[in-house]
Homo-oligomer: A and B are copies of this chain.
Amino acid sequence: MKDYPVYNTYQTPSWCPGCGNFGIWYALKNAFHELGLNNHDITMVFGIGCSGNLSNFLKVYGFHSIHGRTLPVATGIKLANHKLNVLATSGDGDGLGIGLGHFIHTCRRNIDITYIIHDNRVYGLTTGQTSPTSPKGFSSKSTPFGVIELPVNPVALAIISGATFVARGYSGEIDHLASLIVQGMKHKGFSVIDVLQPCVTFNPSYSYAFYNPRVYKLEDTAHNPQDYENAIKLAMEFNDKIPIGIFYKTERETYEQACIELGENPLSEDDIENISIEDIIDDLLA
C-alpha cells in the first residue's frame, strides 16, 4: 500500500487510532490514483457518522449531507452531470438503518454511482448503540440486554434489489479494497461495496483479530460473479468464513442511459437563457 496525500485536505483524520475508517481512506486514495483521477474529477457524497467525517479528509468535490440520505443527493448530482465520477459512502446505521429505503430504491435504478458502506456493525459517532448489522444478542448502550432482531444483509439485499455490482471489502485489506473500488468505479451501473470496518472503540468483537482469520477472497474460489444464485448463497455466509470480493456482477442499462433526455451532454452544460415555451402553451390555448 502506498499513500497519496494529494487527496488530503489540511485536516488530520479525527478517527480513533486503529479505526477501520483509515483503511477505507487509504483504499480510496489508492483507487483514485490508480484511476488517474485529479481531485476535481471526483465528486463524493457522505452521510453523518464517523464514516461521514471522512468528508473532511478527502480533497475532492464533496457533499457532507444528512444522516441516511447520501444516495438521493448523489443521484441528483449524477443526473445533473452524468459525466461526473460520483461516489457515495454511508455508515451502516446511516445507510442501512435510517436510509435503508433509499438503498433499495437506488439498487432498482442501477445508476452509475459507487456506493461504499462503512460497516462497523455499530453506531460509532453517537458513542455505541446497536446498528442494523449488529448481530443478534449484541449488547450496546441502546440494547443492554442484547439485540433481539435479525441483522440486515446488505449484500443479499443489493443483489435481490437490482444492483449490478455487489462486493464486500475489508479495511484490513487495503489493496484488495482499493481494487474493488477501482472495479466498482469502472463498472457501469450501481456498484455496492460493503466494507467490514472494525470500530475499535465500540465494537471490539468485530476487530481485526476477528476478521483476519476469517476473511477469504472470492477471486480465489470457483465463484463466478455472474452466478446469481450462488451469489445469494454466498451472501448468507458469515461465520467462520467470511467471503470478500465480488459477489455479483452483471450488465444492465444504467439509469442515465435509460433517461433518454440526458443523451450525451450533461444537463449542467445546457444553456438556459432562451427557452421557448410557445409550443406547449399552445395546448393551453382556448
Question: What residues of chain A have their CB less than 8 Å away from a CB belonging to chain B?
Answer: 97-101, 104-105, 108-110, 132, 145, 148-153, 156-157, 160-162, 229, 232-233, 253, 255, 258-260
Cβ-defined partner of A104 (8 Å) among B100, B110, B259, B260: B100
Closest 3 CB pairs of A and B: A148-B258, A101-B101, A108-B149
User: Are B108 and A132 in contact, with the CB atoms below 8 A?
Assistant: yes
Q: Which residues of B contact A100 (CB under 8 A)?
A: 100-101, 104-105
Interface pairs (22), CB distance under 8 Å: A98-B101, A100-B100, A100-B101, A100-B104, A104-B152, A104-B157, A108-B150, A108-B151, A108-B152, A109-B148, A109-B149, A110-B149, A110-B150, A145-B260, A148-B253, A148-B259, A149-B162, A149-B255, A152-B161, A153-B160, A157-B157, A232-B232
Q: How far is the CB of A74 from chain B (nearest CB, A)?
A: 16
Which single residue of chain B is at the shortest CB-CB distance from A149? B108
Q: Which residue of B lies closest to A102 (CB)?
A: B101
Question: Which residues in B have their C-beta under 8 angstroms from that of A162?
Answer: 149-150
A37 CB, nearest partner CB in chain B, Å = 28
Q: Chain B residue with minimal CB distance to A99?
A: B101
